Amino acid sequence: MEKKLRGKKFRVVFQPSGVRGEIEEGKTLLEASQELGVDVESICGGKQLCGKCKVRVEKGRFAKLNIRSAFSHVSDWESSEERFIDGGGRTKGYRLACAAKLRGDVLAFVPEESRAGKQVIRKEAGEIEIQCNPAVKLYRVDVSEPSLDDPLGDFDRLAQEIGKRHDLRDLAIDYLVLRDLSGILRQGEWQITAAVWDDREIIQVQPGSIEKCWGLAVDVGTTTVAAYLCSLESGEVQAVESMMNPQVAFGEDVMSRITYAAAHPDSGLHEMSSVIIEGLNSLISQATETAGISQEQILDMTFVGNTVMHHLLLGLDPQYVGSAPFTPTVQKSMDIKARDLGIEINKSAYVHILPIEAGFVGADNVGVLICGEPYRKDDIQLIIDIGTNGELVLGSKDRLVVASCATGPALEGAQITYGMRAAPGAIERIRIDPKTFEVTYKVIGTEAWSQTSGSGEIKTKGICGSGILDLLGELYRTGIVMKSGAFNRELKIPRLRMDGDGTPEFVVAWMDETSIGKDVVVTQRDIRQIQLAKAAIYAGAKLMMRHLGIDRVDSVLIAGAFGSYVDKEEALIIGMLPDISPGRIVSMGNAAGDGARMALLDREKRKEANWIARRVEYLELTIQEEFQDEFIAALHIPHGRDAFPHLKGIVPDFILNQ
Amino acid sequence: MEKKLRGKKFRVVFQPSGVRGEIEEGKTLLEASQELGVDVESICGGKQLCGKCKVRVEKGRFAKLNIRSAFSHVSDWESSEERFIDGGGRTKGYRLACAAKLRGDVLAFVPEESRAGKQVIRKEAGEIEIQCNPAVKLYRVDVSEPSLDDPLGDFDRLAQEIGKRHDLRDLAIDYLVLRDLSGILRQGEWQITAAVWDDREIIQVQPGSIEKCWGLAVDVGTTTVAAYLCSLESGEVQAVESMMNPQVAFGEDVMSRITYAAAHPDSGLHEMSSVIIEGLNSLISQATETAGISQEQILDMTFVGNTVMHHLLLGLDPQYVGSAPFTPTVQKSMDIKARDLGIEINKSAYVHILPIEAGFVGADNVGVLICGEPYRKDDIQLIIDIGTNGELVLGSKDRLVVASCATGPALEGAQITYGMRAAPGAIERIRIDPKTFEVTYKVIGTEAWSQTSGSGEIKTKGICGSGILDLLGELYRTGIVMKSGAFNRELKIPRLRMDGDGTPEFVVAWMDETSIGKDVVVTQRDIRQIQLAKAAIYAGAKLMMRHLGIDRVDSVLIAGAFGSYVDKEEALIIGMLPDISPGRIVSMGNAAGDGARMALLDREKRKEANWIARRVEYLELTIQEEFQDEFIAALHIPHGRDAFPHLKGIVPDFILNQ
């Protein structure tokens, strides 16, 4: 490994991803971005020739990011930059990342056009069957004109007409709509289209005949935010937009965000709440641009997210969710005026916040439930939603139990030496030849596998979640890693080597296959991280099965971004799931987001959500006596005690019988 | 009469009253205020010795007030002013009104401390019997603490507890209250007091045991605004505050405000809406100060006002109310969040806007109805509410009809030569000796009548509404004014004289009895104004009686500020009311404001208001064929055709038989 004399280090934070680290003095921001795995486009390779790597160096101090003072903490402006950045850009702090060298702490913003490849957001809108029965409906109404014999007020006249035709009684009207009502009725010559929310409130009146309106389903994950803009008539998805959750700058996981709020009692909650609202507003702006509509035409919105995301969006202090007994401020669903939240859709529209189940099991899991509907099934299903936090649901129409387990971010590629998010350049699939121990892999951005691809293809720079899971499965199946998770030091192969401290590491990709000028390896510590994550899931599922008094499940559904890409066999091999035929493991896609869409398009699903959120039994795993014991046994691959008959034929006997 | 050479005149507007006029160049602002009947305190009589007459001369141009350019359009600063106005005050434009002489158009603000006497607001809170059953109720709740076995969310737990104890289901919570809920529950150690609005929404949660909360009933008149701060527990009135409606600056009556809005389509409505909201906020601030509470402790508010005041408060365009078929934007009652209106009471509280009956017959008349409850009476009642606009209600429990009549502002003292608002110095009662034709009167601010009072008492400067009505009655009864309303030129008495143009006028108070250095007179034109007003009321009542097929009423109730002070016999003498025994004429006090208080304190009254607003029949007088004919006949005193048997013995026969 390349070693340098250790120079002075400075703190560097890249926005909007929030990725941060300590980087040596004198390195360029482009080098820093590469070291930290932040995507900054560079065609010329840092020679100040292509101008693709523009970043904005932010001014000022950023106490919350531990940035002592940014701006002018990079090297002086170079004449080569003038070709690419004009005076206005320079004033704003734009620099070429390959020209600006570190002289102090830096907060740098990577604009969209400088990102090497947009993150592959695995929160696409899946094909789901949805009953189109939205909470907001349009009614075309011919209102009779008032006269001296019939001088009834404008609103009263409108409400009477809608009431008569559509059997809606006691209609209210949003105050802001009322203000323009008289003018619009006359502008439309008494022919208007009214949007009615939940059969009870008029939230928009437009002159003439309007046939279209839109709704937005939003899934705020700890790491990724996805928004689905849907037609409320056809249910069709018109735009899908996603982004990193900008709260990442305040902490990678829910606990660190709770901690941030607690450590900054005056401003922390407000800061995190503001950035997500701003973030949603920019997604809304993108989505409406994509669909060619205005923000005022979005008349409804649904929200799912885990309990902490839920609280931070609503500006609710998350501290009580963070410690026993993990009580949220509110569990039931809420309807809040978008304007009260600062969300820039139609100013009279409501945002429907789906309910929370319990503690950390939030509205995102409710989304998964109303999407998968295990409560209608005869079969016993285990649903695993793996995000930065993991949620498990087990049961059938008779009984459902839910639990939360702290998987940590390893399965999302974080806290792994060469782990990275699912973005171009990330290894997403791995196979190891059990005889030659040679590795082939597939990189996001290419179609073919490494061994068959030409040299012009995208080079790798790290491993994402599904790749990491594959890797452990393959390392175990080929005997490179033993049941305990330790590397098999007996094995003498080039890819298994000792690092400087004498602990083993495995080379996944050699330096010449990578774009970072280094071998991509997996360390013993990395393996431990994955073991912790999978053991948490397995132990959780086991305790839940015991709680229900069952010893097998009929099917396993994997939800979440991860679920769509995970190799089911490998998940079984590493012992993340209870023993089951691989054929009975199903991917659900982004079920939380799909649930949000269903609640957007079918108001009955909102009722169902409240009903099921109250009906599921919550099992607090951490207070179960057996948890620790089960967790430790589950650290083994696939398990320290339990048998996995379904692995026969998938994993060689001699490996299974270690 | 003192006559001067007519010099150049400038436009002067005094705020906050909005009184304006053309005043000769070189006059002091104090003189201008006296000429226009604006109360500016002056103890020294304009000698720059007492410093009581401070006014603020506003800077800039005021197109809407027709002020070409104010500030520095008064004479230069005088050294005598330094004693009373410091540098800061001078910078703000403060001057002694007796020192600043007119050099151009001026907009002057009279601060509270410079007002000679606060207007005698005749909108006191009357003694009314109210069932105390407010829409907002406090519930003291002991919430069970969450535990791992019972980790239900904070709000859900609170709602469950209130629901169980008080049988309230499906409770919602205002979003702003939710934000602080978790902290408050813990601060109160799970003992809190929740305020619930309308059995459905929690609008406040406070730690511990709270027993008191307040509500505000507001009556926005065209000219006067009154606010009653009440305890929601005892119903007790804790503060009554009133002010001129600041919209007076945009027009004296409802039609001129509609015209203003139409003439300034971009800003007019917003300006008028803003000033009344600001005005209410300052009343709220005064009321809370008087009662020693905070604005956040006001948890409910009710509003009454005529249709135009209602629309301007809510920011609704009044133009459609202004012309046939006089359609309001909304008639039914509304509940609007105070924060959406910009009203500074508790930010989660609602403002309940009482319903409108029809056209100009607004929520103020609904207030009168629910206060007087004619719909529960066997007797046929005629209710007359005299403000800048007059409303009439006629009927009993069987049937009620309502109408609006344009009385004009004469009965409020406006558009009368020496007319003035009910303020200290105004003549409010008048008697004329039928033999000597000598006048005695009573002035607001003194207890005794003029002839028996000492010389040190307050001198008069004009006549207010009730005085004007008295005056016409007395002039007729003593034969000074004939049935036609014309002065009896045959009568040779010193008080009846010709003015410069040869038209007669009657001296009510001689110069030495006044504080304005002039005789206070009533002119022929003044008499015509009162005739027009009283004829409109009489003709309206007559048409309504005909509409109901009746020829007598059992009682007459006079509501409004005017109603409390009017002399019933005089009202009968001038022919404002249908013939009835004076003993059956009853004053209701400020029934509109009382109705607002009742709706504040008893939610059943809100239902009753919506019910009766829909049930009353609206009679549009102006489109009735007989109206013009009846109106002309009613111009006579007491009437051109109808007999008034009840005046026998009150008015001498030879007068009645003219």
pLDDT average per 10 residues of sequence, chain A (658 residues): 60 80 89 80 68 81 61 81 85 90 87 59 58 93 92 95 91 96 97 96 96 96 91 93 86 87 94 95 96 97 96 96 92 96 98 94 95 96 86 96 85 81 85 95 84 62 90 96 95 92 93 87 94 95 96 93 81 95 91 95 96 94 90 95 92 88
pLDDT band at B128 (very low <50, low <70, confident <90, very high): low
Q: CA–CA separation, B465 vs B411, rounded Å?
A: 5
Distance from CA of A331 to the nearest CA of B (A): 5
Is the Cβ pair A151, B358 closer than 8 Å?
Answer: yes
pLDDT at residue B113, rounded to an integer: 67
Interchain CB distance below 8 Å, B316 and A620: no
- Give dist(CA B453, CA B459) in Å, integer: 11
Chain A contact for B356 (CB, 8 A cutoff):
yes
Question: What is the C-alpha to C-alpha distance for residues B128 and A158, in angstroms, rounded to an integer?
Answer: 37
Rounded to an integer, what distance in angstroms lies between the CA atom of residue B248 and that of residue B317? Answer: 18
Cα–Cα dist B183/B206, whole Å: 10
User: Could you count the other beta carbons within 10 Å of the beta carbon of residue A437?
Assistant: 18
Q: Does B332 touch chain A (CB under 8 A)?
A: yes
Cβ B85 vs Cβ B96: under 8 Å = yes
| Residues of chain A neighbouring B362 (CB-CB closer than 8 A) | none
The answer to whether B146 contacts chain A (CB < 8 Å) is yes
Please provide residue A495's backbone torsions phi and psi, each rounded to the nearest 5 degrees. -70, -20
Band the pLDDT of B64: cuts 50, 70, 90.
low
Question: In angstroms, rounded to a whole number, what is the distance separating the alpha carbons of residues A117 and B78?
Answer: 76
Residues B210/B186, Cβ–Cβ less than 8 Å: no
Give how far A598 is from chain B: nearest CA, Å: 24
Of residues B348, B82, B77, the one with CA closest to residue B194 = B348
Residue B96 identity (one-letter amino acid): L
Tokens 């290894």, residue located:
A427
Q: Among all residues of chain B, which has the CA nearest to that of A321? A: B153
Q: Output the pLDDT for position B496.
A: 96
The CA distance from A368 to the nearest CA of chain B, in Å, is 20
Q: In this predicted model, what pLDDT tens digit does every residue of B436-494 receive, in sequence order? A: 999 999 998 787 787 654 455 678 888 988 899 999 999 999 999 999 999 999 999 99
Residue length, chain B?
Answer: 658
Integer angstrom CA distances of residue B448 from B376, B442, B445, B490 = 41, 7, 9, 33
Separation CA B97–CA A16 (nearest Å): 63
**Is B151 in contact with A325 (Cβ distance < 8 A)?**
yes
Residue of B156, B183, B340 lying closest to A331 (CB–CB): B156
Minimum Cα–Cα distance from B328: chain A residue: A153
Residue B63 CA to residue B14 CA, distance in Å, equals 15
- The dihedral through the CA atoms of B185, B189, B194, B199 has a sign that is positive
The span from the CA of B397 to the CA of A186, in Å, is 37
Mean pLDDT of B397-408: 90
Q: With bands split at pLDDT 50, 70 and 90, how would you rate the model's confidence at B359? A: confident
Amino acid A359: pLDDT: 84
Which residue has tokens 């509410």? Answer: B385
Q: Rounded to whole angstroms, how far apart are CA atoms B343 and B262?
A: 25
Chain B contacts of A326, Cβ < 8 Å?
148, 151
B155 contacts in chain A (CB < 8 Å): 329-332
Total residue length of chain A: 658
The pair of three-digit structure tokens given for residue A246, joined into one six-digit string:
């900008």
Report whether pLDDT(B409) > 60: yes
Closest CA to B236 of B600, B592, B606, B605: B600
CA distance B577 to chain A (A): 27
Query: Is B359 an 8 Å CB contact of chain A?
Result: yes
Exposure string over A268-288, b if 16+ CB within 10 A, otherwise e: bbebbbbbbbebbebbbebbb
Q: How far apart are CA A284 and CA B238, in angstroms?
A: 49
Average pLDDT over every residue of B270-282: 95
Does the CB of B363 have a partner CB in chain A at under 8 Å? no
Which A-chain residues 618-647 have CB contacts (< 8 A) with chain B?
Answer: 618, 620, 623
CB atoms < 10 A from the CB of A188, how many? 19
The one-letter amino acid code at B510 reads W
For residue A155, list chain B residues with Cβ-Cβ distance below 8 A. 329-332
CB-CB under 8 Å, B332 with A155: yes
- Whether residue A454 lies within 8 A of chain B, CB to CB, comes out as no
pLDDT score for B130: 76
Q: Which residues from B are below 8 Å from A356, CB to CB?
A: 153
B-contacting residues in A 156-175 (Cβ below 8 Å): 156, 159, 173, 175
pLDDT digits (tens, 9 = 90+) for B221-231: 988 899 999 99
Interface test with A, best of B147, B175, B317, B340 (most A CBs within 10 A): B175
Residue B321 phi, psi dihedral angles, 5° rounding:
-75, -25
Q: Is B305 in contact with B313 (CB distance < 8 Å)?
A: yes
- pLDDT of residue B250 exceeding 50, the answer is yes
Residue in A156, A183, A356 closest to B331 by CB: A156
Round to whole Å and give the CA distance between A504 and A54.
39
CB contact under 8 A, B175 and A336: yes
Asked if A316's CB is within 8 angstroms of B341's CB, the reply is: no
Q: List the beta bridge partners of residue B14.
A: B19, B108
Task: Name every chain B residue with its beta carbon within 8 A of the beta carbon of A310.
Answer: none
Give the span between the Cα atoms of B576 and B574, in whole angstroms. 6
Q: At what angle do helices B268-291 and B307-314 cross, to 10 degrees?
A: 90
Size of interface A-B (CB pairs under 8 A): 128
Q: Quick check: A389 and A322 in contact, CB under 8 A?
A: no
Task: Please report which helix (H) or strand (E) contains residue A592, including its range.
Answer: helix A591-601
What is the structure's pLDDT at B17?
72
> What strands, in cross-sheet order, belong to the sheet with B172-173?
B136-142, B191-197, B201-207, B172-173
pLDDT value at residue A387: 75
Nearest to A623 among B148, B315, B328 (CB): B148
Taking residue B265's Cβ as centre, other Cβ atoms within 10 Å add up to: 10
Give contacts of A 295-314 with B, CB under 8 A.
314
Please count the other Cβ atoms lying within 10 Å of the Cβ belonging to residue B379.
11
List the single best residue of A316, A319, A336, A354 to mutate versus B (max B Cβ within 10 A): A316
SS3 A558: strand
In whole angstroms, give the CA distance from residue B334 to residue B70. Answer: 41
User: Which tens digit of pLDDT belongs to each residue from B505-552?
Assistant: 999 999 988 888 889 999 999 999 999 999 999 999 999 999 999 999
Strands B585-589 and B555-559: parallel
Q: Which residues of A touch B146 (CB under 8 A)?
A: 325, 327
